[in-house]
Amino acid sequence: MSRVLIVGAGLTGSLCACLLRRELQNKVHIEVWDKARGSGGRMSTSRPPDASSHPADLGAQYITATPFYAQSHRSFYTELLNAGILKPLDCLIEGLQHKADNRNYITPLGMSSVVKHFLSQSGANLCFDCHVTGLYRRGASWEVQRKQGDSKTFDAVVLTMPVPQILQLQGDLGNVLSVQQRSHLDTVVYSSRFAVALFFSPDVVLNFPWAARYVSDNQCIRYIAVEPRKSNTDAPGVGPSLVVHTSVPFGVEHLEQEKDAIQPIILQELHKLLPGLPQPISIKCQKWRYSQVQTSVPDCPGHMTVLERPLLVCGGDAFSHSNFDGCVESALSVLRVLTASL
């Protein structure tokens, strides 16, 4: 039985694991490792410490299917709609540049539910708090080292984290990358931004005319969303939450500063935009150093096969484009390589 390690429990890694299981069933042993405490990656949903407020999506907010992807990824959309993971967006997102033929979807259970859905179908061994630090070639296998000092051996490894984090890995990766592959990986550029989630007590009512809003006249804040308005769910007895995304220029300007130093600046700007906003019961600030891909790997191939034996493949939105369909494209492309090789 082939042993496959998928590094990253974001959408690309989780979907890879799910599709590989569906394709090869019990002929493969799959492990998914992520350095975070849970799954989701940049599709993460944050829960307040005491569960008295609605969860908030800190990264991706909604899913937009162009006519092309609505058709070519129809099976994925149908599966998620049937499972109640996706619902058509029918609230007001002020400033959303909606194209008539596009379909927008929200996630009533939070964005991470999309990732969790596929992960739960994968039958993979999951390891969270599992930070991969190095890859070492050992004959026909890869020895994969974790931050805690131990290592494990696999027949094939798939890396789905942002490209700069791939390039930080120690060991033999640098030796097996060709000059052209290295230069392609070096071209990848990400935007950066901060996200802040404010969680309110159940007695608070946030009565804005919109569920989310793009802000165009503030240098710091680009986007605000209110839950459960955006996800359009009933949440009796639970307080609302509000998410703020900063603009990319603000994110880039303050990228090397601690998020604790930046949070008060964002909150000050938020109060200018929404005067009278009640006091939250808790706040979470997230720095997205690698937010959305601005320049992907040339020609968007979906994956990069770094080495055929032992197999080492890179995938993720940097190899396609930075949204749901980009991750699906990449996962399908990685799957083709895995099934041909195993």
Contact between 93 and 213 (Cβ < 8 Å) = yes
**Amino acid letter, residue 123:** G
| Binds ligand FAD by CB under 6 A, chosen from 48, 55, 59, 239 | 59
CA distance 304 to 140: 19
Contact status: 132 vs ligand FAD (CB under 6 A):
yes
* Residues within window 279-298 making contact with ligand FAD, judged by CB under 6 A: 288, 291-292
Contact status: 316 vs ligand FAD (CB under 6 A):
yes
* Residues within window 150-179 making contact with ligand FAD, judged by CB under 6 A: 160-162, 165
| Binds ligand FAD by CB under 6 A, chosen from 18, 20, 33, 184 | 33
CA distance 70 to 78: 10
Contact status: 243 vs ligand FAD (CB under 6 A):
no
CA distance 67 to 322: 17
Closest CA to 110 of 289, 238, 290: 238
Contact status: 112 vs ligand FAD (CB under 6 A):
no
Contact status: 8 vs ligand FAD (CB under 6 A):
yes
Contact status: 34 vs ligand FAD (CB under 6 A):
yes
Q: Which CB atom, from 36 or from 265, has the smaller least distance to ligand FAD? A: 36
Query: What does the radius of gyration of the chain's CA atoms come to, in whole angstroms?
Result: 20
Contact status: 61 vs ligand FAD (CB under 6 A):
yes
Determine the angle formed by the axes of helices 112-120 and 11-24, rounding to 10 degrees: 20
CB under 6 A: which stretch of 7-15, 24-32, 212-220, 252-260 binds ligand FAD? 7-15
Q: Which CB atom, from 157 or from 311, has the smaller least distance to ligand FAD? A: 157
Residue 331 C-beta: closest distance to ligand FAD, Å: 8
Contact status: 36 vs ligand FAD (CB under 6 A):
yes
Contact status: 113 vs ligand FAD (CB under 6 A):
no
CA distance 327 to 12: 5
Q: Which CB atom, from 62 or from 250, has the smaller least distance to ligand FAD? A: 62
Contact status: 60 vs ligand FAD (CB under 6 A):
yes
For ligand FAD, the binding residues (CB under 6 A) are 7-13, 33-36, 41-43, 59-63, 131-132, 160-162, 165, 193, 195, 245, 288, 291-292, 316-317, 322-324, 326-327
